[in-house]
Amino acid sequence: MIYRKNNQLFRRNDKELLLVEPWGKNSFRVRATQRSAFLPDELSALLPVQETEAEISIDGDRARIVNGKLTCQMMEDGILQFTDRKGKVLLQEYDRTRSMYEGSGKFASALEIVPRTFMPKAGADGYKLIYRLEANEGEKIFGMGQYQQPYLDMKGCVVELAQRNSQASVPFLISSRGYGMLWNNPAIGKVTFGKNLTEWIAENTKQLDYWITAGDTPAEIEEAYADAAGKVPMMPEYGLGFWQCKLRYQTQEELLEVAREYRRRGIPVDVIVADFFHWPHEGDWKFDKDFWPDPAAMVKELEEMGTKLMVSIWPTVDGESENYEKMREMGYLARSEYGKRLGQIGNACFFDPTNPDARKFVWERIKENYYKDGIQIFWLDEAEPEFTGYEYEHYRYFAGADLEVGNMYPKAYAQMAYDGMEEAGQENIVNLLRCAWAGSQRYGALVWSGDIDSSFRALRNQLAAGLNMGLAGIPWWTTDIGGFHGGNIHDEGFREVLVRWFAWGCFLPVMRLHGFREPFKPALSESGGGKQISGAENEIWSYGDRVYEICRKYITLRENMRPYVRSLMKAAHEKGTPLIRPLFYDFPEDEKAWETGDEHMFGPDVLVAPVLYENMRERSVYLPEGSWRNINDGECFEGGRTITAPAPYEAIPVFVKAGSEVEKMLIP
């Protein structure tokens, strides 16, 4: 039976309840369940429904709902088809039954494969969900978050819907056919964008839930998604410049001396970082005073130099922590299904940010031990979280089993700090996280790409990862310049990786140097904040004079671009616009732009062609229509063609639109 209730279109057929309803301009939210009712929205990434009138018509066993540029046809057997305002099919459920549909025709198949398959879990009210959609020939798919592979176009890929160190599942996609889709389900699973079908799988869930929108351009689709799932705050001024970081400054004096040296050299540093294990025990959430004796004085001195202090926060709680027993007693810790809780990571366990009371408890410790000393930017590390072996079936949260809700952990973790900082009166909140899920952006999440290795191969992967994160609705994204693991500061091969990465980092949303450099430095003690080793020096003067001058040049370029970067941050805040994006975002009518995956736009006026291979001293660059100037030599080119651009060791090819404001900032 198909029926209308207010502005919603329902279909009840035996054990399945299906709902299609408008959710913002040109958009629908679709839900289906085999339970008695739909879930409350605690697990949803979407903001509350935006009032939008839809046209609904019901004709017996068929129905049609129209919301602006998007139409949903509900067929006799409940099969859904989405079309644009011209009637082009954007998306259609995969149906291989005796009454399957193709276009306006009705056919038959002996396969008996339905698009929405709920496989019950014996003795429980959860299901394994398989959702099948028709594959569209020639379609390109972008977004989905951050994956360590070099493919910008995700068509043909199998994508794990799970969080890992350096992997962030943010399941919003933009299609070259003119639609966007959010898989609004935090369950562990996977999606296959195959040639013959698209198949979404949730390993343990209670309902199908997704959101779909149509638009004439990628920007229109992206902005509709930002309206539905939220936008980043306005990036504060200290997010626009250079951030200095390493694993790990071992003492307060060491960190201050690095900041002083940058100051002596006249090099501005917006943020410097106190990394992990500055605490007595994991879960104490405070400095070890033996090595960090006066945090308030440290913050004051840094502020006088124009530098903010960011402090690493881990969600881990050691059994020896002063907070462990209280958190265990109150149910604030993630649970292991079998065996001991301690050992989820090393000798510790994770706190449970899906529990609102646990979020408040942890924030109060952070507020007392860091925030009151003037520290107002945090590095929320281990945000996946990094369970040993990622045995998703072995853990449980306040909100449900890991298999059902696990992907929302980084969003809830970001919310913990954001809510506390907002309640304290802070505006323009930004915190650095190693992971994200849909909606994380509205909690001030600046995501970095995790503990990647120091290689050109890893650099190539970060280009695809960063562009797809932006399209997935996470405009604040960065990466460890030079990679995290494996870079020896005396190795010339690594220095080349660092130089190329640093130049590219100048044109990322946040320019941040970090890494666990070799040769390692020994621990300072056998306990507390001194027991962890450190990496080698990672300041820009640590790599010799030639590298130093290149790095200094790009920090200066970043400073010169500050007004331009500020305008990009404003667009991200107001419209959800990614700062870095593929060429097709700004040139959607250019077919070549849809094929170009090894360069990108930094805002509307800067085209960046990073050098992604060792010993490369020139590279081909596609320039879309318009006039473009090479910032390295000032040469002007007419676009709509591919050129060969010089790429000396000292510079990567970067082009600006002739006559733009940023041209004056980058070319004297």
Residues 6+ apart with CB under 8 A from 86: none
Q: Give the pLDDT of residue 563.
A: 98
Residues 6+ apart with CB under 8 A from 619: 609, 611, 644, 645, 647, 653
Q: Pinpoint the residues of the chain covered by CATH 2.60.40.1180.
A: 582-666
Known catalytic residue at 419: no
Q: Give the pLDDT of residue 104.
A: 60
Q: What is the distance, to the nearest Å, from the Cα of residue 47 to the centroid of all Cα atoms in its chain?
A: 18
Contact by Cβ (8 Å): 384, 410:
yes
Residue 465 tokens read as 């990862």
Q: Give the pLDDT of residue 122.
A: 83
Q: Give the pLDDT of residue 340.
A: 87
Antiparallel, parallel or unpaired: β 242-244 and 271-274: parallel
Q: Which regions of the chain are under pLDDT 50?
A: none
Tokens 């001194």 correspond to 530
Active-site annotation holder among 95, 220, 270, 381 = 381
Identify any residues that bridge with 9 across adjacent strands, giving them in sequence order. Answer: 4, 20
Fold for domain 582-666?
Immunoglobulin-like (2.60.40)
Q: Give the pLDDT of residue 105.
A: 67
Nearest to 580 by CA among 515, 647, 506: 506
Known catalytic residue at 402: no
Specify whether domain 2-229 bears CATH 3.20.20.240: no
Nearest to 621 by CA among 640, 642, 598: 642
Active-site annotation holder among 270, 384, 404, 586 = 384
Q: Give the pLDDT of residue 658.
A: 97
Determine phi and psi for 345, rounding to 5 degrees: -150, 120
Compute the distance between CA of residue 48 and CA of residue 24 in angstroms, rounded to an integer.
10
Contact by Cβ (8 Å): 363, 416:
yes
DSSP per-residue string spanning 90-109: EEEB--BSTTEEETTEEE--
Amino acid sitting at position 346: G
Q: Mention the CATH class of domain 241-316+356-395+411-422+445-575.
A: alpha beta
Active-site annotation holder among 451, 539, 586, 663 = 451
Residue 259 tokens read as 């900041």
Q: Give the pLDDT of residue 125.
A: 83
Contact by Cβ (8 Å): 435, 383:
yes
Give the pLDDT confidence of 158-183 residue by residue, as tens digits.
999 999 999 999 999 999 999 999 99
Antiparallel, parallel or unpaired: β 100-102 and 378-380: unpaired
Known catalytic residue at 598: no
Q: Pinpoint the residues of the chain covered by CATH 3.20.20.80.
A: 241-316+356-395+411-422+445-575
Q: Pinpoint the residues of the chain covered by CATH 2.60.40.1760.
A: 2-229
Q: Give the pLDDT of residue 233.
A: 98
Residues 6+ apart with CB under 8 A from 516: 246, 247, 451, 484, 485, 535
pTM: 0.97
Q: What is the distance, to the nearest Å, from the Cα of residue 653 to the centroid of all Cα atoms in its chain?
A: 26
Amino acid sitting at position 445: A
SS3 12: strand
Nearest to 434 by CA among 454, 417, 414: 414
Longest Cα–Cα distance of the chain, Å, equals 78
